[in-house]
Structure 1
Amino acid sequence: MKKLLFLPFLLLFLVSCSSDDQTEVSGNLQAQTLLNVTYGNDPQQTMDVYLPENRTTDTKVFVLVHGGFWYAGSKEDFSDAVPLLKQYFPDHAIVNINYRLAGFNSPAYPKQIEDIQKVFQFLDNSDYSISDDYAMIGVSAGAHLSMLYAYKYDTQHDVKAVCDIVGPADFTDENYTTHPEYENAAVALLGTTTPTQEQLLEVNPVTHITAQSPATISFYGGQDYLIPTTQGPRLEAALNNAGVYNEYNLYPNGGHFDWDLATMTDMYSKLIPFFQNHF
């Protein structure tokens, strides 16, 4: 995973990365790069904010949520996504977040969802001159958190679109509950190897899908050692049953996002028009 996320398109399009404290003067507002902005009191509650020039209160916002099995990873894993999004969505703002990682006697839930809520509260109350229209892009655990927040906790329906890359979508899936990594996932997320049905449903993205859920695009690998291949179809079925627009993509030879260049390029060729059409 890590910084390979958008590397193929960086190579293909030769897009340059933004530098620290970079500004460009044009029009009414400058483009700004604000790194390590704190949105809470914990040292892990930081985010990078990229604001386009000439932004207004209609400027839409991408929110990037890194993976790492809920107990690892950082926003730096997603840093290569920023130049690509700037290339295709130059009028959008981008927010790349850290969140408090799971640890011993400190499971991911609910604190990581609380951190995402704090991010949105911070943005809504900021002076950045942006809108409250958001799209979320998450990988692995970050995809789970993105779906869970968008489907369950976004009661104002500010999240308009979600990209799920190899994210856990349904913990009640028998292929997941019997998976070798299931207990490790349960400990990281809920702090127990034997979660109750009530606990599972609370953190289960598909459980909270309604007709008002945002458009969703998903990508899964057929050889993923962490996520059963049944997760994608179960997510697709739940979204279809609720009448929510969605696109499901399976790469039969792909692992847990350790995909070859051709597969990655194909993914981007679907992801970019999805946001162009649904965000």
Structure 2
Amino acid sequence: MRINSAIIYSYIYKYKLTIIFFMKSLKYSLLNILLLVTVYNCSNEKTDAEVIDTFDPSLYYEQLDVSYGDDPDQTFDLYLPANRSQNTKIMVLVHGGGWSAGDKNEMNAIRDLLRSDFPNLAVVNINYRLADDDNAPYPMQINDISSIIEHLKINKTKYTISDDLGFIGISAGAHLALLWSYAFDTNNQVSMVCSIVGPTNFTDPAYLNNVNPDLQELLDLYGSDVPIAFLEEVSPYHQVTDIAPPTILFYGGQDPLIPTTQGTALRDKLLNLGVTHEFTLYPEAGHGWIGLELLDTWTKLKAFINAYI
């Protein structure tokens, strides 16, 4: 597929915000429009000289490609704010890519926004093992998230962070973030979770009866002939309970890969369960959006983070 791009320049408060979207092949990524944001703010910029190799909590610290397993994909980037304490909370970023592609660098835009607007928040930008013909996404990728959370717990004194965390996921990464938060957070560590165009229900008739070969190729990563019980096991919609963390959802009404029902059905179930949530549907947007809709997303997500993490 030919790459298309659109660039829009805007201003948010005192920051100069450059927003770039570009199309990616549907075959390789559920997130066919990737958002890259560069924030310029002289008072917040950090040079290499300021990244000091120490865990002194009074100093800013970052470490790229921290290993949490034997596979080359089992790495994450760690950003620890200056003047942190045992109450410093963590935001975990989960990239998309149809469970079989993608990289944590694709979340650097959101990382930069978080570091600018939430300077007291620790950020963990993760990679996970990618699915292929020999390795199914489930439970492999959920296990990877569990390994990362366990690593953070074991090292929380060294890092000077708390156990409390939030998730922001995009597309397949949003599915993983929701599923882990709803079904695998046995210690109730998750304070909030954000899904941007994330699949939520593999038993949705719009999926079971779809005629989109690109979509079906991605869904087949979970098995081409699997029982409904398994599809429910890997669906956040079927795993959510009334103790789920506050959840914020963003979807596009013209998304060719994520039917609107993936968002509205989860919204309705959260409402019925009494789970704190917010839901935004951009009726004319697809698997990503630009301009005022994008600014609206960050404004709402920023307020949600302020409220719950």
* CA distance 1:114–1:28, change in 2 (3 Å): closer
- Given the alignment, which residue of 59, 62, 69 partners 2:98? 69
Partner of 1:185: 218
Say whether the 8 Å CA contact 1:20–1:34 is kept in structure 2: no
1:166 aligns with 2:166: no
Which runs of 5 or more structure 2 residues have no equivalent in the other structure?
Answer: 1-30
**For residue 157 of structure 1, what is the amino acid of its counterpart?**
N
1:209 aligns with 2:240: yes
C-alpha distance after superposition, 1:47-103 (max 9, x if no partner): 000000111110000000000000000000001112210121111100000000001
C-alpha distance after superposition, 1:127-172 (max 9, x if no partner): 2010010000000000000000000000111011001000001111
Q: 2: distance between equivalents of 1:165 and 1:4? A: 11
Q: 2: distance between equivalents of 1:212 and 1:51? A: 29
Note the C-alpha offset of 1:186. 2.6
Q: 2: distance between equivalents of 1:49 and 1:2? A: 26
What TM-score, normalized to structure 2?
0.83
Q: 2: distance between equivalents of 1:124 and 1:64? A: 17
Note the C-alpha offset of 1:17. 6.5
1:48 aligns with 2:77: yes
**For residue 261 of structure 1, what is the amino acid of its counterpart?**
G
Q: 2: distance between equivalents of 1:21 and 1:194? A: 54
Q: Which has the higher strand share?
A: 2
Which runs of 5 or more structure 1 residues have no equivalent in the other structure?
Answer: none
What TM-score, normalized to structure 1?
0.92
Note the C-alpha offset of 1:249. 0.5
Partner of 1:268: 298
Partner of 2:51: 23
1:91 aligns with 2:124: no
* CA distance 1:15–1:239, change in 2 (3 Å): farther
**For residue 34 of structure 1, what is the amino acid of its counterpart?**
Q
Partner of 2:9: none
1:199 aligns with 2:230: yes
Instruction: Tell me the percent identity.
Output: 42
Which segments of structure 1 move beyond 6 Å, counting only runs of 4 or more? Answer: 13-17
* CA distance 1:33–1:177, change in 2 (3 Å): same
Partner of 1:175: 206
Note the C-alpha offset of 1:265. 0.7
SS at match of 1:79: helix
Aligned CA RMSD, in angstroms, stands at 2.2
